[in-house]
């Protein structure tokens, strides 16, 4: 490993290495866990009895959150906005209680991983 950077604001380290094929950056633990959490949220949403319109909206928001989380430097507020849109639809459909409890837990976990951005964008809705 040639260097390590540390972002004090998010308390997340990123390893940067160089090799014959170029420079490579590895995602932080929080970013990887956020991606996994969004994937689990998508699985949980698919198992709920949502209308086709609600499911389409939820999937579009989760897809957008996943795309942003997969970027090299994800914008936590943008991810949070998409997850917040998901939470608003689910809350409006009454889907975060009962069968949606596992989905509520995944969205809560994502809120924690996003830190202040998650609290501002998702936490207030949950």
Quick one: which of 37, 55, 34, 35 has its CA closest to 46?
55
pLDDT band of 94, cuts 50, 70, 90: very high
Residues 27, 10: Cα–Cα separation, whole Å: 13
pLDDT computed for residue 6 by the predictor: 43
Summarised one tens digit per residue, pLDDT across range 2-17 is 444 444 444 444 444 4
**Predicted TM-score (pTM) of this structure:** 0.78
* Alpha helices by DSSP H, 1-126: 29-46, 52-69, 76-92, 101-114, 116-118
Residue ranges per structural domain of the chain: 28-123
pLDDT band of 59, cuts 50, 70, 90: very high
């Amino acid at each position: 490993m040639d260097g390590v950077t540390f972002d004090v604001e998010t308390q997340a380290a990123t390893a940067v290495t160089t090799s014959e094929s170029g420079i490579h950056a590895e995602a932080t633990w929080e970013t990887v866990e956020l991606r996994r959490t969004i994937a689990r949220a998508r699985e949980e949403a698919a198992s709920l009895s949502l209308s086709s319109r609600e499911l389409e909206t939820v999937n579009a928001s989760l897809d957008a959150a996943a795309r942003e989380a997969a970027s090299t430097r994800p914008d936590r507020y943008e991810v949070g906005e998409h997850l917040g849109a998901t939470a608003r639809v689910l809350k409006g459909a009454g889907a975060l209680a009962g069968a949606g409890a596992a989905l509520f837990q995944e969205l809560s976990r994502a809120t924690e991983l996003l830190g202040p951005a998650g609290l501002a964008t998702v936490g207030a809705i949950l």
